[in-house]
């Protein structure tokens, strides 16, 4: 089934005039979606999408009502760039007492996850199919107990380094949203992104790197679930790194 050309993204209206230009990701769409995936974008996603994130629907950037969003008060974890959703799906199933918000601007990744959420159950998962920085703007202060950034786009060309997600622009609002003692976990297979992340975090007063030994960044976290991106990195001979930063 061909995709409807009148709905280029199927993820809501374009940004409102006057909203800041942001783009830390590349393409929004990959190969053609299957019929079932398109159906889930039209039927499942509206029930799971975090409301009042976009500048057009929340121009004053008022904080989200998380109690209304999930119907309860529980620890909240954020996953930025969930890709195919393997890690997010496993964590949501393994920690039913925790709520999760997953951000992913790539349409195919969202479409891949939705059928699995519909089958597994999605009571503790909500999705923002767009720029995570828009969500950080409206998360209440101290609302996050953990944040995952898994295999972000490394933007290898030096002229594109400003588009890397780990930066002062994002660490500042993320620090505001994280409660004291909360963790930011970053997984990447790109050594230069490791260096970049350590330098960017060191420039902030809000975080500390928790590593004590090499195993602390070479070994995966105890509750780690391998993603398709990590599997690809290993097949191509690259070594994953697992960084943990604590919010002070």
- Rounded CA separation 248/246 (Å): 6
Cβ atoms of 164 and 155 closer than 8 Å = yes
CA dist list (Å): 242 to 8, 132, 133, 169, 200: 35, 21, 22, 22, 16
Instruction: List the beta bridge partners of residue 153.
Output: none
Give Rg (Cα) of the chain.
18
CB within 8 A of 90, min separation 6: which ones? 225
Of 60, 39, 150, the C-alpha closest to 102 is: 150
First to last CA, the chain: 51
Residue of 42, 56, 65, 153 with catalytic role: 153
- Rounded CA separation 107/123 (Å): 22
223 in catalytic set: no
Place of tokens 């002070």: 248
Side by side, the strands of the sheet bearing 99-103 are 125-128, 99-103, 76-80, 144-150, 178-188, 241-247, 207-209
Overall residue count recorded for the chain in this entry: 248
- Residues noted as catalytic: 153
């Amino acid at each position: 089934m061909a995709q409807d050309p009148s709905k280029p993204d199927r993820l809501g209206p374009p940004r409102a005039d006057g909203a800041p230009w942001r783009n830390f990701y590349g393409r929004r769409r990959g190969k053609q979606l299957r019929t079932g995936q398109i159906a889930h974008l039209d039927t499942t996603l509206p029930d799971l999408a975090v409301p009042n994130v976009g500048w057009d629907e929340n121009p004053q950037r008022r904080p989200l009502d998380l109690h209304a969003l999930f119907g309860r008060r529980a620890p909240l974890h954020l996953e930025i760039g969930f890709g195919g959703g393997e890690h997010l799906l496993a964590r949501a199933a393994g920690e039913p007492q925790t709520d999760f918000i997953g951000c992913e601007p790539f349409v195919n990744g969202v479409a891949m996850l939705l059928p699995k959420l519909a089958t597994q159950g999605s009571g503790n998962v909500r999705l923002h199919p767009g720029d995570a920085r828009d969500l950080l703007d409206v998360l209440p202060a101290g609302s996050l107990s953990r944040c995952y950034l898994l295999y972000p786009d490394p933007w290898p060309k030096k002229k594109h380094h400003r588009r890397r997600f780990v930066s002062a622009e994002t660490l500042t609002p993320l620090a505001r949203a994280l409660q004291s003692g909360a963790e930011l976990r970053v997984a990447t297979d790109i050594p230069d992104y490791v260096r970049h992340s350590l330098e960017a975090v060191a420039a902030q007063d809000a975080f500390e790197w928790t590593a004590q030994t090499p195993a602390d960044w070479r070994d995966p976290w105890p509750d780690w679930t391998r993603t398709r991106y990590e599997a690809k990195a290993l097949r191509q001979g690259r070594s994953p790194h697992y960084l943990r930063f604590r919010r002070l």
